[in-house]
Structure 1
């Protein structure tokens, strides 16, 4: 019994079948199997990404809540417009307490910012060097943010202390 039939019609059918099997094998081996492996890898990466997103989402929510608490705390330090007169009064009280005279307190135009409007004042405080330093420390220790900038320290001309 021969593997290849003797009849030409059967032999042609056999060869066509054999070629078809070879083509299907190469299709399977060269195209379908690598695509399946690639699909499995992508599905595995997708599963891992979903797990990370789930974990990361919780972490992001925690971080967002933490940042919101920090922003709320910072907003509480920035004086509201209705609190400014009380802060100026507190500064005057602190100046008297440390034996400093406030010679000038002149408001300057407000400077709009991204998150708040900055209100500046030109202030002249007269007193002994260490008393002025205690005054600035007291101002910095008030319940709201007050930042002395552009300071000039000069010797007072006259008979003070």
Structure 2
């Protein structure tokens, strides 16, 4: 029975690969698609303006012991449209809850990527890389601090 499944997959796989290659030919190269898309972006710090709710999930890795601790956070950020921001969140770090406020700054590149650097009320500072929708209504982020693995989505809510 296993041999039949493997032979069936072997017969199907070349067709799947051929369809994928044909689709790539029809769409053009990745470089062409990226160049076309990025040339239409015109983001700036003004793109992020308003209150954004967020949901962050991740893992903190203790640098000394390498023990991993899960964490989650929900809250909101207020981007002022001038490169400054504030926020508030509730987080659970390995089951211990914390309520934080934070302030920071952000940069936005014309291609709608950027960074946010902020300091939380518990004294910790963090930096995230951000990727913003062209209309500024949503962004995704990834924490770039050592020993942290996390990502988040943010949505503008009026």
Q: Where on the TM-score scale, by shorter chain, does this alignment land: which range?
A: under 0.3
Bigger radius of gyration among the two: 1
More strand by share: 2
TM-score normalised by length of structure 2: 0.27
Q: Which has the higher helix share?
A: 1
Greater RCO structure (CA 8 Å; 6+ sep): 2
TM-score, normalised with respect to structure 1: 0.26
